[in-house]
Amino acid sequence: MAKANKSVKTAGKAASVKFGKTLPKGKPLLRAIKGGKNGGKPAPAKSPMSKSAAIPPAQSKTAMMKAMTPKPAPAVADDVPVIALNLDPAKLSPAMVAYFKKCQDKLGFVPNVLVAYAFDMAKLETFVALYNDIMLGNSGLSKLEREMIAVAVSSQNRCYYCLAAHAAAVRQFSGNPLLGEHLVMNYRVARLNKRQRAMLDFAVKLTASPGSVEEGDRERLRRAGFTDRDIWDISSVTGLFNMSNRVASATDMRPNAAYHGQAR
C-alpha cells in the first residue's frame, strides 16, 4: 500500500506541474471543476428544462418556449453615417432652412439626400430646384408615374438609396405595396397597363443602352398615348435618376430608416 500511495502522490504532483504551473498565476484551466461532495468531479450539467416541474402544467409549455426562444440581436443603425465621404456641412441658407423645416413638418424627417448635399449651398439649392421641377412640377405624367420611372431606373442600376426612398413613394401614391415590391424586383412582373409598360420599357432601355434608342421607341410611346412633351418628361425623370443613382452609389448614400416601413 505504501508503494501505491507513493505512486498516487507522484501522479498528483505531475498533474499539478502539467496543469497548474503552466498557466498564469490565478487562472486555473477548468474553472467549472470545483471540490466538494463530488470529490473534485465536475457537477452534472443542469438541463434548461429542470425547473419545468415547479411550473404549473398549464404554464410550463409557455415558460419553456420563452426560455428556448433566442433574443433578437439589437438593430444596427443603417443610415449613419449618411455618406462615406468626410464633407463638412455648410451653413444652411435661409431658403434651405425653410425647406428643411418643411420636410421635417411634412415627412417627419429630412431626407438624407438633402443632408448629403448640404456641404455646398449652391449644389444643394440646384439639386432641390431640379428635383422639384422634374418630379413635382406640371407634367402630363402623374406623380405616381414619375415615381414608377424612378424605381424602375434605380432597380436597373441597383441603387439602394433611391430604391428605398422611391419604392416608399410608389406604395404611398398607388396605395398598393405590392406594386412597389414588383418595381424594385422586376417591373415586368407587375400588373401594368399598356401605357405604364411602354413608359417603363422606354425608361429602362434609355438607362441600359441609351445609344440604341431610336424613332421606333418614341413611336411606341406615342401609340401608348404619350405626347412629345410627355416623352421629354419621361426622358428627364430617367436622366435625373441615372445621375442620382450614380452619385448615391459612389458615396454609399444611406436611405433614412423611416422609408423601409412606410405604406406597408
Nearest to 187, CA basis, from 203, 168, 164, 208: 203
- Scanning the structure block, which residue is given the C-alpha cell 438624407? 112
pTM for this structure?
0.73
Name residue 90's amino acid: A
E strands in the chain = none
d(CA 163, CA 152): 9
Q: Is 141 helix (H, G, I), strand (E, B) or coil?
A: coil
- Scanning the structure block, which residue is given the C-alpha cell 406604395? 171
Helix, strand, coil in percent for the chain, rounding step 5: 65, 0, 35
- Scanning the structure block, which residue is given the C-alpha cell 422639384? 132
pLDDT in tens, the chain (264 residues): 544 454 444 444 444 444 444 444 444 433 333 444 444 455 555 555 544 445 555 566 777 667 677 776 666 688 899 999 999 999 999 999 999 999 999 999 999 999 999 999 999 999 999 999 999 999 999 999 999 999 999 999 999 999 999 999 999 999 999 999 999 999 999 999 999 999 999 999 999 999 999 999 999 999 999 999 999 999 999 999 999 999 999 999 999 999 999 999
Nearest to 233, CA basis, from 264, 206, 262, 252: 206
